[in-house]
A and B are shown apart, each in its own frame.
Chain A
Amino acid sequence: MTLSNQVLSEVEYNVVGKRPVRPDGVDKVTGRAQYGADVKLTGLLHAKVLRSPHPHARIRSIDTGKAEALPGVKAVITAKDLPFAALSREELGGDYNRLKFASDHMLASDKVLYKGHPVAAVAAVNAHVAESALALIEVDYEPLEAVVDVRAAMRDDAPLLHAELRTSSMGEIGDKPSNVAAHLSYEKGDVEQGFGEADVVVERELTTASVHQGYIEPHNSTAFWNTDGQLNLWTSTQGAFAVRAAVADVLRLPVSRIKVTPMEIGGGFGGKITAYLDAIAATLSQKAGAPVKQLMTRAEVFEASGPAPGSWMKVKVGAKNDGRLTAVQLEVAMDAGAYPGSPVMQAMTCAFACYDVENGKVDGYDVVVNKPKTAAYRAPGSPQAAFGVETVMDELCQQLGLDPIDFRLLNAAKEGTRRIEGPVARRIGFVECLEAARDHDHYRTPPEGENSGRGVAAGYWMNRGFQSSCVITVNFDGTVSLIMGSVDIGGTRASIAQQAAETLGIAYEDVKPMVVDTDSIGFTFITGGSRTSFATGLAAIEAAESVKAQMVSRAAKIWDAAEDDVEYADGAVRHKSDPELRLGFKDLARQLATTGGTVAGQSNVDPAGEGNSYAVHLADVQVDPDTGKTEVTRYTAIQDAGKAVHPSYVEGQIQGGAVQGIGWALNEEYYFDNSGRMMNPTFLDYRMPTSLDLPMIDTVIVEVANSGHPYGVRGVGEVPIVPPMAAIANGIHEATGLRLRSLPMTPGKILEEQWERNGG
């Protein structure tokens, strides 16, 4: 912990809340940890994918003959090799479109919908031969007009991506094809009346660009079929069971015939939930009769795996002169990429969740465009919405002459606040976060330097529960094995082991956590949604409680006592009335072998009670008036973690989220040419911030216990990416007087705004 990081704790525990070394840390920093690229099998073939050079085109034909004849090539596949090609519309009924989209996303059949869309794949003795073979595949395309802008795609005369896609408006299906896949609307109170009561109304339109999650490890997958028809996959994923389900769906296999082993993962941030390569590697492996490994290049990661969506928003807010909000409204359209499924619903849900307002309306549109299908990215949908809402709220504060934190405290969501989509908030820590921000040294010290300013913004993420399984077995040396299906991205081996250790009353070092394959543990949902320390932690706690009950039973057996007379406390079993009878956990573990064998606790959970997360960020920026370059000079992120199980990893999540948000604010964007081709698919041209670009991100962990968890845990991983874009935009305004309403806020955009304001 550094002095710039604070933890405002309410409750102390023995293990939870401490900062032990992570179990996988040494292997990861010494190169021993096994990632997908490290998988080596006898007779391993290497695969490459031929991808579309066009953002939108019809496939007239594909000729793979020359590629198949190349020495060293063992298999070539196209969409015709996927099961969908042999299935009829009659057989699939209402599932036709869904499966066509899933199958075509793996390998395009009749149309390519983005530059980088897979059209064929080759397995060969090495990657060089595979790549040479790609050049021999002849694809005859009929290029079509592309559309990459979400608003342009919504127009009646826009080029259509899918001839059969019609707008679904909560079950009502549109009468003509459209790129708008879905429209959803929620309203609370009466917004017209609310705006009528306002003394000040601010209404603005804003846009955000597509950005990538930027994980350091590219996608990879290795597939191999046993002779009995069992498919084995080794892959980099946030959810082994999600990969199993996706591959089973596209390859029409029962899930029991697929075993997925999640390798160590080099970052995901939501982008490693989709299974891009696994079905291709599996199909190639089946055709070649050998194991097949496939790795994406960095350019493939950018061009063919999901970015976060670009968006357009119209935000309207109204308030009385005293700052009390009277009405809020958001219209938001998000691009889903080539197939439906943008996080626009999340944007609608999160947009005004920081505010207690009587009248509100949100409308969201899910729109397909000629870009790679979007994927989740850390609090998907919420950062875009917060950029819109929090910058407009800042403008409202400015017009009313109110301090931005006082304004938010006046209107803050709290326990009992009814959100626009309906449900009522439970105990949440937004007010506590605002108070911590107001009282922080950062907020009490003016920003330093010329042309500098400070921005404040808030953010919300609902967090999630979903299903998790855990098994805890007691070893005869008194340690326990903690077996789980949650992939460890941000230190969850440690955070879940801590909860198991706390519950058992044993040392953290005596818990050996391991992440296993889909055949070795019960169904476990993805590591995502800020759910893992909460939900898998709950599973570990329940499994530990089962172990405790069995240890009590075993001690009673040894002492020939009634179980009711024995209790478990402080990592030991003891007789309630005979102080002579006491066995520490390790002492009892040593006797298990001769008194009936090992003890194992198991738990499957699907919990409710996930606590919502709130964050408040303070950003100081300095803007060079000559170049338009924005430098972040000081940054503090305040967040309610419920209970920080491992504060260092919570701080890491907060800092990482803030840094990704700063990149999104200032630099990062998918840049498309006029025909819709991404022009910057490298880390040189897609500029993410580095440690040299940024100050230390100071953190404050606020702990307002979540009543849905025994230790008060809330998810922490996602909300820190929500406020940065708005915080920096508001800081730029204070520094320059300019309101930037389009992300990223590049030097060019700032100069253009400056020139426009100054009359050229």
Chain B
Amino acid sequence: MVLSLLLASCASDGGGGGEGVQSQKMETIRSRGKLVCGVDGKLPGFSFLGPDGTYSGLDADTCRAVAAAILGDPEMVEYRDLNSSERFAALASGEVDMLARNTTMTLSRDSAGGNGISFGPTTFYDGQGLMAPVASGIKTLKDLAGKPICVESGTTTELNLADRMREQGIAYTPLKFQTGDQTYAAYLGGRCVAVTSDRSQLAAKRSSFPQPDAHILLPEVMSKEPLTPASINGDPAWADALRWTVYALFQAEELGITQANVAAKVAEAKANTNLADLRRFLGVEGDFGKQLGLPADFVPKAIAAVGNYGEIFERNVGAGSPLKLERAENRQWKDGGLIYSPPFR
């Protein structure tokens, strides 16, 4: 009798979602009270440890948004600086809960037979570029024939460079360094005539050079580099929570919900039962949060923490930052870009 009651209560719980969502990772994060987020830490605009000991940037804000969504507090993030070679091992071993480390999504990284990680939505559409000193007179790939090029080892850029140069039959010398610091030090030391990386990263690093104007980004874009946050394979519930938190930031921009007006929007949604879409999105109505294993108000918490995607972009890499990158591919789909959130329904 008692047993059947218990069984019945379990069944009804499972039917409603919520506690029925099984995620070891999310339980670990909740019991720890902190989200451990793997970042670069040295890349202005994406994740950069400032002099005051706080991290800033688009990737760091992704960590904050996820922490706000799952724990309700964007500051409950423990950042872990990882270099390109360490990042996947750190994720696979569970040392970090997620990566927001300007990581390009590729087939071999995604697949179970490769690195076996699970990617969320792309937060920055990038492409590989080359930077050279203005004084060198280098304008195209062909000018680099027989010259040394600096590259960070363990990155997709290393491979793309090899592929592009092979396609065009240009011989060159790749000089590989383990960290970005060493790579750019060798470039600034004049060991290489050019350095290659994602165009956003080149722009970011250039902004911290002693003379940013003395270096140009070549117009050539050598690859597609969708920079994407990632979690470990094998915990689909955690991957979903990560995915939809990022989508919520996209959707918020589309709906015009900002860090400043999110509280007012929630109040408006609560007051007006006719705004069904908005009510569902902000967790006033329905059980989206429960279905994901997150609190009902995870969307307004995330937006209140870091703002919508447009705000994050402008603040960290766009017009409001030293990088001054164009939105380009990273505009909303309605404006001709690739930022697109599936419906919250």
Q: Are A and B a genuine interacting pair, yes or no?
A: no
* Chain A residues with a Cβ under 8 A of chain B: none
